[in-house]
Structure 1
Amino acid sequence: MKVAIISVSNKGHELALKLKEKLDNDSTIIKCDLYHKNVKKYLKIAFFEYDAVIAIMASGILIRSIAPFLESKVTDPAILNVDDNGNFVISTLSGHLGGANALTNKVADLIDAVPVITTSTDVNKKLGIDVLAKDLYLSIDNTKEILYFNKAILEGKKITFLLNPDGNYNYLRNYLSENTLEMDVSIECLSEINTDEIHVCVNEHNIVLKEKKVVVGIGCRRGKECRKIFEGMKKSIEDLNIDISRINMLSSVEIKKDEEGILELSEKLDIPVNFVELDKLKLFTSNDIQKSEFVKSKFGIYGVCEPSALITAGFDSKLVYKKTSYDGVTISVAVSK
């Protein structure tokens, strides 16, 4: 998640500096930039260029400033509102699909504030269908149905998940067993369903959830054993709350194609690995990747795990876990659009 923090007062700016320091240490925060004063100018930039905006200011200033840009819960960024004293963190916009509710809880915990969340499913301790899609990196074919489904969940109606019997949906089953709360859920198998899709039904209404490609990028020192690579990967996906069965592919650079630790890991997990050509990595550019001069001096590229994950995930993919080091292993995670 790319985050912009915008403050107005000097006191708010001090809070922004402290918050940025904490968020910079979070591997799920790809970058965090600070903006101070000139709210209308910077909010317009942040609204369209970041995944989330943390506005440390009065709610009236925030609401009037973002009002002209509001479009849809599907495309609007997460907006959080924080008071100058850091007493409250309010999830203001895009609580579910945009991730504002989850970020609100994270920020509130970091600055010891009270999180304020008002979405009906959350306050009634129910799981929204859009929350499920967000958490499991699934796209929703008909977002207009979200409201109907979440209302049905609140009313206690039975929600049926239709799955292909040949697909690996352990991640969904595990997620539902841990998060359904009081939802009335049933799971049925239907061979007509594509293996990368999940059909969700209630009464005559239907939503199709489609898997985005989740790719784990791996960089490692020569001869790093499988166990050590897996330990780093496991820690990363735990940070993201991703079940290992949700990983679609591993990736690294072609000079690692004979790296026994990576090959063994791919075989043990039954997850294919893509070794990206060196020339593709040399040509690849992104403002979101971390550049290593050491890797550049040795291989002519600025990095391995981040760019290889993004290339493997496909055009317009995004990092959801930035390069993080684990004892000679670097891990990142990218997700397709």
Structure 2
Amino acid sequence: MRLAIISVSNKGQELAIDLKEKLDLDSTIIRCDLYHKNVKKYFPLLFSEYDGIIAIMASGILIRSIAGLIKSKVTDPAVLNIDDNGRFVISTLSGHLGGANELTNKIAALIDATSVITTSTDVNRKLGIDVLARDLYLAIDNPKEILYFNKAILEGREISLTVNPNKNFEYLFDYLNNVTLEINVSIYYSSKMNIDEILVSLDEHEMILKEKKIVVGIGCRRDKECRYIYDGVKKSLKDLNILISRVNMFASAEIKKDEKGILELSNKLNIPVSFVEIDKLKLFESNDISKSEFVKSKFGIYGVCEPSALIMAGFDSRLIYKKTSYDGVTIAIAISN
């Protein structure tokens, strides 16, 4: 997640600096930038450039600043509101699809504050269909139907989920079995369904949830054993609450195409691996990737795991887990848009 923290007072700025230091240690936070004052100037930029905005200011200032920028629950960034004393963290905008509710709980824990969440499904301990989609990294083809399905869930009505029987949906079943929020669903199978889609239906209402492509980028020292690579992958996915069965692909640089540990892991988990050509890695540019001078001096490229994951996830993909090292293994995770 790319975050911006904006403050207006000196006290708020101090809290922003402290919070950034904590967030920079979190592998799921790809970038965290600070802004101070000039809210009219900065908010239009923040809405277009960041996944989440943490506004340390009075709620009135925040609401007046973003009112003209709000467009859709599908595209608007997560917006959080924190008071100068850091007592309350309020999920203000894009609680579900934007991830504001989840981020609110994370930030509140970091600064020992009280989280405030007001979305209906959450306060009633129900699993919103948009929460399910976000948690499982699924795109929603018809977001206008979210309100209908969430209202039905609040009323305790049964939702139908239809999937292709030839696809491993272990991640979906595991999620439904372990989630602490309530939802009443029945699972149906149809070979007419596309293999990467889930049909949600009730009465005459339907929506399609489609898998976004999740790519785990891997870098490692020469001859690194499979078990160590697997440990790094598992730890990274655990931080994101992603089951291994939800991963679509592994990726690395072509200089790693003979690494037995990576090939063995691919075979073991039945997850394909792609090795990206050095020329593509040299040409690839992104403001979100870290650059290693050591890797550059040795291989002529600035990195392996992050650019490999982004390239294989496709155009306009984004990192959801920045380069993290695990005993000679580096892992990054990207997702298609």
TM-score (normalised: structure 1):
0.99
Report the Cα offset of residue 180 of structure 1: 6.2
Q: Which amino acid aligns with 1:34?
A: L
Q: Alpha-carbon deviations, 1:269-304, whole Å to 9, x = none?
A: 000000000000000000000000000000110000
Partner SS for 2:258? coil
| 1:6 counterpart residue number | 6
Report the Cα offset of residue 181 of structure 1: 3.5
Q: How far apart, CA to CA, are the structure 1 residues paired with 2:66 and 2:230?
A: 43
Query: After superposition, where does 1:120-139 map in structure 2 within 5 Å?
Result: 120-139=120-139
Q: How far apart, CA to CA, are the structure 1 residues paired with 2:243 and 2:29?
A: 20
RMSD, aligned α-carbons? 0.7
| 1:118 counterpart residue number | 118
Q: How far apart, CA to CA, are the structure 2 residues paired with 1:256 and 1:28?
A: 25
Runs (4 or more) in structure 1 with deviation over 4 Å come to none
1:218 aligns with 2:218: yes
TM-score (normalised: structure 2):
0.99
Q: Which amino acid aligns with 2:52?
A: A
| 1:160 counterpart residue number | 160
Partner SS for 2:67? helix
Q: Relative to 1, partners in 2 of residues 1:166 and 1:180: Cα closer, same or farther, differing over 3 Å?
A: farther
| 2:276 counterpart residue number | 276
Give the paired residue count.
Answer: 337
Query: After superposition, where does 1:5-84 map in structure 2 within 5 Å?
Result: 5-84=5-84
Q: Which amino acid aligns with 2:276?
A: V
Q: How far apart, CA to CA, are the structure 1 residues paired with 2:27 and 2:202?
A: 37
1:297 aligns with 2:287: no
Q: Alpha-carbon deviations, 1:39-69, whole Å to 9, x = none?
A: 1111121111100000000000000001111
Q: How far apart, CA to CA, are the structure 2 residues paired with 1:31 and 1:40?
A: 22
Q: Alpha-carbon deviations, 1:228-283, whole Å to 9, x = none?
A: 00000000000000011000000000010000000000000000000000000000
Partner SS for 2:68? helix
Report the Cα offset of residue 189 of structure 1: 0.6
1:253 aligns with 2:243: no
Q: Which amino acid aligns with 2:151?
A: K
Q: How far apart, CA to CA, are the structure 2 residues paired with 1:40 and 1:100?
A: 22
Q: How far apart, CA to CA, are the structure 2 residues paired with 1:47 and 1:316?
A: 17
| 2:94 counterpart residue number | 94
Q: Which amino acid aligns with 2:215?
A: V
| 1:334 counterpart residue number | 334
| 1:241 counterpart residue number | 241
Q: How far apart, CA to CA, are the structure 2 residues paired with 1:164 and 1:179?
A: 22
Report the Cα offset of residue 184 of structure 1: 1.4
Partner SS for 2:268? helix
Partner SS for 1:290? coil
Q: Which amino acid aligns with 2:304?
A: V
Q: How far apart, CA to CA, are the structure 1 residues paired with 2:84 and 2:149?
A: 37
Q: How far apart, CA to CA, are the structure 1 residues paired with 2:90 and 2:231?
A: 36
Partner SS for 2:206? strand
Name stretches of at least 5 consecutive residues in structure 2 with no aligned partner: none
Q: How far apart, CA to CA, are the structure 1 residues paired with 2:293 and 2:89?
A: 39
1:315 aligns with 2:319: no
Q: How far apart, CA to CA, are the structure 1 residues paired with 2:185 and 2:59?
A: 38
Q: Which amino acid aligns with 2:174?
A: N
Report the Cα offset of residue 182 of structure 1: 3.0
